[in-house]
Amino acid sequence: MLIITLPCANPIARNLLKVIRAIKGTRDIVPPASATWNRVEAVARRVFASYNYQEIRTPIFEETVLFARGVGEETDIVSKEMYTWEDKDGTSLTLRPENTASVIRAFIEHRMDQIPGPKKLYYMGPMFRRERPQKGRYRQFYQIGAEVIGSESPATDAEVIEMVVAILTECGVEGLHLIINSVGCPNCRPGFNAALKEQLQPMKASLCENCQRRAETNPLRVLDCKVPADQPYIEKLPSILDYLCPVCAKHFVAVREFLDDRGITYEVRPRLVRGLDYYTRTTFEITHGGLGAQSSVMGGGRYDGLAEMLGSKVASPGMGFSIGEDRLVMIVEETMAAQPLSLDLYIAPMGDDAMRHAGVLARDLRRAGVSVEVGEGKLKRLMEWANKAGARNTLILGDNEINAGTYALKDMASGEQRSLSREELVRNLTSKN
């Protein structure tokens, strides 16, 4: 019999036959990589707690106007990279490209600006920007960040930087390079912008297309350009440190003194401006050589005036940062030895009665804080699975062990095997956790 297979004419049905994969610029985080993510986040939470920060969780989408007003309409993020759509009621919504604006919006909405004293908040979660995917950079990416709202003290700036260094150091990252600068304030920045604009005019035609536009609309953004061919021109531009007003200059000196007191080394780089319009005074960045061209692990700075720009009736100066968690995890994976899996016990039951007994035993051990996996199948295969699971101990459970009330516990590293009562088994396993 002749069977002829015709191509499917229905495009929907044809697409259903294709293997569906993650969208470009996104990815799945699967074991064992997810364990590294959990370790990094656990370190961050522990450090945040030691500095008296509390967690805030904001929605992953907001009204578009929040980012246009807060981040800046002339920034690449707002003009080119945001995922924006119109809701059914006509409201323009955007997946958050960063979280500081959202935190400040929540700070105002929940009247936290009415409560005296600085507020220390941290967050972890996904952000979204339609950038060209490359090493350590994704369209759905993750950030660990923190904000201090309600203090303009240079001591706050130094403490925030110290906290970032503590997180990265406790994650086991070495070879970090801290870069700091001051971008002034609304009083001194206009003079610097005017000087930039004047000096950019004769060289504007030689710059990249983006910088030609920025030279007219937002000259400060030219300093944030990463195009290699533009760097010789950028190096000839004036230094913002020469244009700081006395108040900003004094603030920046104090920040450096506080960092010196803490033994934190840094480089002052006058071209560091960061890519967001809301920054004032202190800006900083930490880089790592293991990331190649995209060497920045995190960035942050002060944003006095952002809360008022977004509607707060109370002056609420702020200082914060965000760590690129994707990049941090990449560094941790490349620089740290692989961590062993944390399975305490693998039980290999022999027969139906042993399986029932193993279920109750595993429940009791788990309640005592022991991680347990119960296998099912032939002994040889179960022992192979125990090895692959990285189990520290195995327990072969059969009728003889059940009747005798003893358990043969094998240490997988040393090969030592001991016969233990139930109480001794629990005590032995829990004492090592």
Span 288-339, pLDDT tens digits: 875 555 578 999 999 998 999 898 888 899 999 999 999 999 999 887 654 5
Higher pLDDT, 70 or 261: 261
With contact defined as beta carbons under 8 Å apart, do 131 and 309 qualify? no
User: Mean of the pLDDT values across residues 199-211?
Assistant: 86
User: Mean of the pLDDT values across residues 360-370?
Assistant: 91
Are residues 42 and 123 part of one domain? yes
Are residues 170 and 310 part of one domain? yes
Are residues 253 and 137 part of one domain? yes
The Cα–Cα gap between 342 and 369 comes to 12
The Cα–Cα gap between 239 and 226 comes to 18
pLDDT score of 389: 81
Are residues 379 and 249 part of one domain? no
Q: Say yes or no to pLDDT of 2 above 80.
A: no
| Closest among 52, 44, 42, 143 to 99, alpha carbons compared | 143
User: Mean of the pLDDT values across residues 77-88?
Assistant: 88
Are residues 390 and 290 part of one domain? no
Please identify, among 314, 335, 356, the residue that sits at the C-terminal boundary of a domain.
335
Are residues 290 and 158 part of one domain? yes
Cis previous bond, 32, omega within 30 = yes
- The enclosing domain of 355 has a CATH number of 3.40.50.800
Q: Which residues of 370-396 are buried (b: 16+ CB within 10 A; e: fewer)?
A: bbbbbbeeeeeebbebbeeeebbbbbb
The verdict on residue 351 lying in a domain is yes
Are residues 249 and 372 part of one domain? no
Residue with tokens 């191509």: 7
Read off the pLDDT of residues 273-292 as tens digits, 9 standing for 90 and up.
Answer: 876 678 899 999 999 875 55
Are residues 166 and 274 part of one domain? yes
Please identify, among 292, 315, 335, the residue that sits at the C-terminal boundary of a domain.
335
pLDDT score of 288: 86
Are residues 367 and 303 part of one domain? no
Please identify, among 335, 358, 379, the residue that sits at the C-terminal boundary of a domain.
335
- The enclosing domain of 133 has a CATH number of 3.30.930.10
Query: 70 is in which domain, residue-wise?
Result: 33-188+244-335
The verdict on residue 325 lying in a domain is yes
The verdict on residue 221 lying in a domain is no
Longest CA–CA separation in the chain, Å: 93
The verdict on residue 16 lying in a domain is no
Are residues 351 and 301 part of one domain? no
The verdict on residue 44 lying in a domain is yes
The verdict on residue 202 lying in a domain is no
The verdict on residue 388 lying in a domain is yes
Are residues 371 and 293 part of one domain? no
The verdict on residue 231 lying in a domain is no
**Domains of the chain: total:** 2
Are residues 377 and 253 part of one domain? no
